[in-house]
Structure 1
Amino acid sequence: MLIANEDRDLYVRHGGIMILTKGASATELGVLASHPSKSVRIAAVVALRRQGAAEIERFFDDADLFVRKEAVRGAYDENIVEALPALAGRAQMISASISEQDKFYPLTAKRAIYAAWRLGRPEDVARILSIASDTNVDSRVRRDALVALLDWNEPPVADPVVGTAVPLPEGRSEIAARELDALKDLIASLASASGEGDLLELGLKLARQSKVVVPNGTLFEILSSTQLAKPARRLAAELFGQQETDSVALKDAMAVLLRDESADLRSYGREFLMKTDRPAALLLLGEALVSPKSTVAEKQQTLEILGKERGPSAEKALVETLKRLQEGKLAKAIVLDAILAAESSPSPEVARALASYREELSQKDPLAEWFAACEEGGDPKRGEEVYLNHGSAQCARCHVIDGVGGRSVPIFPRLERITLVPTCSVH
């Protein structure tokens, strides 16, 4: 029936699958891996998936790509534990077969990688790191491999492929730094490949998380390269600051950061300077707040740093900032940041300056400070993240912005701050 149908009639194919599922044993279905008819083999794969039988692994090496994909999908998505070692063992081969010309996301390779991730054995760490390090492998697959290693020690509740909770084996080992020694070579190779910025960022995050010591020469090369993505350079600077002890090398790194075109890197350079020359760093932070050349983001980051600092220099800078705020001379874009920094500051003098500012606000309007603080500034990317993904606020369930969201309350054609402030306050 299946042979004659050749998958033309879906009802007939389904009937054949159900007959095999109920009428054949797993062993009998496994034998069909050598059957010449693709229709029979795919029916056997679906039947084995329904049975949850390990014999599905016999189809992982099928001559037909579609059959192979369905076998991998069945074994992983149904969590057929007995078949996962065979799938994990083929992760490198499957990953190498993916082409960047493939239109659809390579989920077969991702399933193979996460089969190894689920098993969590030392050999699986080496296997996944090998995939991430292979420059001949599609960058999407290499990214999945690095994310799998990042999630290894703290697995998410939802499985990264199927999106539902899947129990992991007991006794699953944690990654030790020594198992990721090859990560140093991977980071060095990515540092010279300007088109692999996201991979480099993930590699550096993994090094930071796993306490892998990347050579300082490699880190300095990354933080100095204007061709590389800013997040990767920032991570390299952070790791460099943690590892390097030579004062000359630290000063060289700070000099690179402080003259960079990126406001984020310049701000980190000032923060970096706090470790070696606090008076000079605090002086630079104070200058950044009033300099017309400083960007809004730079001033926001400067205020965040000052809010955590103790001492007369930080206190003076914050008190002067609050004075400008009270006089109406502070840029609206950093009002919220100034208030948050003042709230974080341990200084009684800063607390008094903040209280003085608040006393002048309208006592009749409980949202007066919100309006003053949120009229401009903020972080648009963070705002979008809150709108779309905040678990408690659930903004998008009710509000529509730019065509996205529910329609139970007023629709906002764009982000109107003055409209949103009272709405967010109520919720």
Structure 2
Amino acid sequence: DKSNQVARIHGIVGLTQLARMDKKDHADAIVPLLKDSDPEIAALAAKWLGDIRYEKANSVLIENLKHPNARVQFFNAEALGRAKAKEAIQPLIELLEANNDVDAYLRHGVTYALSQIGEVEPLAALSSHPSKAVRLGAVLALRRLESPELAKFLADSDEYIVTETARAIHDDFSVEAALPALGALLPTTTFQNEPLIRRAISANQRVGKDENLNHILAFLGKSGMPEVLRKEALAAIGTWAKPSLVDRVDGRYRGEVKRDASLIRDQVKPILIASASDRAEQIRVEAIKAIGKLEIADAADLLLTKIKTDPADPVKIQALNSLVAMNAPNLSQAISRAMGDNSQSVRVAGLGLLAQTDLPKDQKVALLTDIIQKRTVPEKQTALTTLAGLEGAKDLPVWKAILADFDAGKLPEGTWIELEEAIKATGSAELKAEFTGLLDEKSGGEEWKKFAGALADGNIRRGRTIFFENQTAQCIRCHAYDDMGGNAGPALDNIGNVLSKEELLIALVEPSKRLAPGYGTISLEMNSGEKITGTLMEDGKEILKVMVGAEEKNISRSDIKSSQIAPSSMPPMGTLLSKREIRDLVSYLSVLRRRE
């Protein structure tokens, strides 16, 4: 009965099951359906014949590759691939050409079929085919076959084909035999798109031979290359001796590789020193970072000059860090210069390294004490941390003076967390007890006030990372921002306009102290004896608005005998996050304001 399409489909499936369990000859009855006037019947006949690899139908399946219905073509191609029908290779290639990349699903079906047939030679020969769609299909099929013949397509004149070939060679588990060819493309190609060049750079670093390093150096010597790609090339040089365990492009684990940095220092030194004076700030930073990682000692004086004269703070800070990595003989001079810089961020970087200078200990203590008393909050924070790291720090008399300033309110709130950490770092039980006592006095028994140091000078960028990515706090699981996140708690798009920093801190460390409207359950006992339980929608001075079922009730406080609010389901963040993290999170939440 051709009028009942569903019954016919069930019949095809039933015959297929019989053919699979008993004799394949049961499938003979399905073959005529490949020419059925109903495209869905013709398509599913091909699908199920392919499922049992019914080779007797191959000739009809090949004819159907020219069927006017794309779904029929797709399942016929798929069936031929499963049957590994070598005679279908050329018809499948012709279908790729006819499709001309219009239907991505059909292209996938054909390329997958070609990869299942598994013949590499006719696919590799397509590198010179005039149709771009055919060449792309060949690349996709060869990628599935993990064939080194992919390298032939790197010479294609079409940038898209070359880029797709680079993906096929480099990504996932890679076609390692073709990686050298991909690396060799780097200094010669005229294409500059980021997906291609990043993979060519990565291929050179992964192969790791002298010629591969030369490819990267030649690329850096080319004019007109995009800054982001020059930066990536410099980063690859900087990590040449110890590449990342994960791939630079797709993040796949590649394993540990160690190389002798001394073997390449002379080879890369000229380009790194030249790049350290490039006009682009990010190039200078990356070059100086590479100098530090490879410990190019000859560049120590250049790095000191950068700290003195470079106009960009990130360059100065990286030069300082590279001198530390090299343990350069002029490190003390560099730190002293950084500490006297006009920029706060450079001074802070220098302060953090003060312990590594050859200054006498008493001079270090005097310098740090002066900074704690007179400089900016970020400098005070770093000075406290550095002071605690000095040898014999717990016996320094200066701690008593610092604690006295803390007690007198002379230390800004932004330094309290660093002070607490510094006291703990000294290992002195006496200092710790004294600080704890003073903090308890300041808090007056209120838990949130012990976190008062989190009210100022947090890092908004780090706070954002905590909000969206911290796996312990999982803020985004319960709260939404910009329509992303959960709904167990209130949305926080505009929280910076609703709550002050103090209120935000209380909400984080004592979440049951104040519940957001619509998210707290309240139980009331009325003067009349009636008991009401519902969701507190508004906590007014005279009127409470309580949602009881679907009805919102206005309840006068004068009518209430007693009330009890269920504690918040949100855990106190003080048990999950450090005080530094809470400080950063408060700073981030405080700037969340709805855009008008």
Q: Same fold (TM over 0.5)?
A: yes
Please say if residues 270 and 284 of structure 1, whose CA atoms lie closer than 8 Å, have aligned partners that are also in contact.
no
Structure 2 CA distance for aligned equivalents of residues 46 and 410 of structure 1: 47
**Deviation of residue 137 (structure 1)?**
2.5
Q: Deviation at 1:73?
A: 1.4
Letter in 2 for 1:191: A
The number of residues matched between the two structures is 409
Q: CA deviation at 1:303?
A: 0.9
The aligned amino acid for 1:36 is P
Q: Is the 8 A contact 1:306 1:314 kept in 2?
A: no
- Residue 289 of structure 2 corresponds to which residue in structure 1? 205
Any conservation in 2 of the 1:121–1:173 contact (CA below 8 Å)? no
In structure 2, which of residues 303, 315, 320 is the aligned counterpart of residue 237 of structure 1?
320
Secondary structure of the residue aligned to 2:489 is coil
Alignment partners' CA distance in 2, 1:317 and 1:72: 61
Contact conserved, 1:91 with 1:112, CA < 8 A, in 2? yes
Quote the residue 2:125 is aligned against: 31
Contact 1:397–1:406 (CA<8 Å) still a contact in 2? yes
Match of 2:561 in 1: none
Name the SS of the counterpart of 1:93 in structure 2.
coil
Confirm or deny that 1:93 pairs with 2:188.
yes
Task: Determine whether 1:140 maps to 2:228.
Answer: yes
Is 1:120 aligned to residue 120 of structure 2?
no
Offset at residue 133 of structure 1 (A): 5.7
Name the structure 2 match of 1:221: 305
Give the 3 Å change call, closer, same or farther, for CA 85–60 of structure 1 in structure 2: same
Q: In 2 relative to 1, CA 186–408 (structure 1 residues): closer, same or farther, beyond 3 Å? A: farther
| Post-superposition offset of 1:125 | 3.7
Pair 1:357-2:438 in alignment: yes
Structure 1 residue 276 and structure 2 residue 358: aligned?
Answer: yes
> Residue type of the partner of 1:398?
C
Q: Aligned in 2, Cα 1:117/1:352: closer, same or farther, shift over 3 Å?
A: same
**Are 1:61 and 2:155 counterparts?**
yes
Alignment of 1:36-185 (within 5 A): 36-78=130-172, 79-94=174-189, 97-98=191-192, 106-132=194-220, 134=222, 136-152=224-240, 155-165=243-253, 167=254, 173-185=258-270
Q: For residues 171 and 199 of structure 2, what CA distance do their matches in structure 1 show?
A: 8
Counterpart AA for 1:328? G
Instruction: Compare CA radii of gyration and give the structure with the larger one.
Output: 2
- Alignment correspondent of 1:192: 277
Kindly tell me: are residues 133 and 231 of structure 1, through their superposed partners in 2, closer, same or farther at Cα, counting changes over 3 Å? farther
Instruction: Name the residue aligned to 2:455.
Output: 375
Q: Deviations over 1:12-45 (max 9, x none)?
A: 5445434533446101111111122222212211
Contact 2:272 2:287 in 1 (8 A): yes
Q: Distance in 2 between matches of 1:380 and 1:83?
A: 45
* In structure 1, C-alpha distance between the alignment counterparts of 2:133 and 2:353, rounded to whole Å: 63
Counterpart residue identity of residue 231, structure 2 = R
* TM norm structure 1: 0.82
Percent identity of equivalent pairs: 26
**Contact preservation (8 Å) 2:183, 2:200:** yes
Distance, in Å, in 1 between the alignment partners of 2:279 and 2:400 is 43
Q: Which amino acid aligns with 1:80?
A: V
Cα distance change, pair 221–314 in 1 and its aligned pair in 2 (3 A): farther
Residue of structure 1 equivalent to 2:468: 388
Measured in 1, the distance between the counterparts of 2:108 and 2:299 equals 58
1:193-229 CA distance string (max 9 Å, x none)? 342x22322333333233222423311221112412x
The answer to whether the Cα contact below 8 Å between 2:243 and 2:258 also exists between their aligned partners in 1 is no
Shift of 1:344: 0.9
* Aligned counterpart for 1:304 among listed residues 379, 382, 385: 385
TM-superposed CA distance for 1:331, in Å, is 0.9
Specify the SS of the correspondent of 1:211: coil
Per residue, is there more strand in 1 or in 2? 2
Tell me which amino acid in the other structure corresponds to 1:205.
K
Which one-letter code corresponds to 2:179 in the other structure? Answer: L
User: What's the CA shift string for 1:381-407, capped at 9, x where partnerless?
Assistant: 333333334344444343445766444
Q: In 1, distance between residues paired with 2:395 and 2:307?
A: 27
Equivalent of residue 419 in structure 2, options 338, 343, 352: 338
Query: Scaled by the length of structure 2, what TM-score is found?
Result: 0.61
* C-alpha deviation, 1:315, in angstroms: 2.6
Consecutive unaligned residues of structure 1, counting only runs of 5 or more, are: none
User: Which residue of 550, 553, 573 maps to 1:424?
Assistant: 573
**Most deviating of 215-224 and 383-392:** 383-392
Contact 2:273 / 2:287 at 8 angstroms: preserved in 1? no
2:124 maps to a residue whose letter is G
How far apart are the structure 2 equivalents of 1:22 and 1:352?
Answer: 72
Residue type matched to 1:267 in 2? V
Kindly state the Cα deviation for residue 258 of structure 1 after the two structures are TM-superposed: 3.4
**1:171-201 alpha-carbon deviations (Å, 9 max, x no partner):** x552413313344333432333342x22322
Deviation at 1:152, TM superposition (A): 4.7
Aligned partners of 2:304 and 2:415: how far apart in 1?
32
CA contact (8 A) 1:282 1:313 kept: no
Contact 2:351 2:379 in 1 (8 A): no
1:248-271 Cα distance to aligned partner (Å, 9 max, x none): x955x4564233222232234455
Q: 1:62: how far off? A: 0.6
* AA at the equivalent of 2:273: A
Structure 2 CA distance, aligned partners of 1:344 and 1:134?
51
Distance 2:176 2:354 in 1: 52
Pair 185,27 (structure 1): closer, same or farther in 2 beyond 3 Å: same
Partners of 1:76 and 1:394 in 2: how far apart?
35
Mapped partners of 1:154, 1:250: distance in 2: 28
Q: Which amino acid aligns with 2:406?
A: L
CA contact (8 A) 2:306 2:315 kept: yes
| 1:60-99, Cα deviation, whole Å (9 max, x unpaired) | 11111121122111122241222222112223334x631x
CA distance in 2, matches of 1:62, 1:281: 63
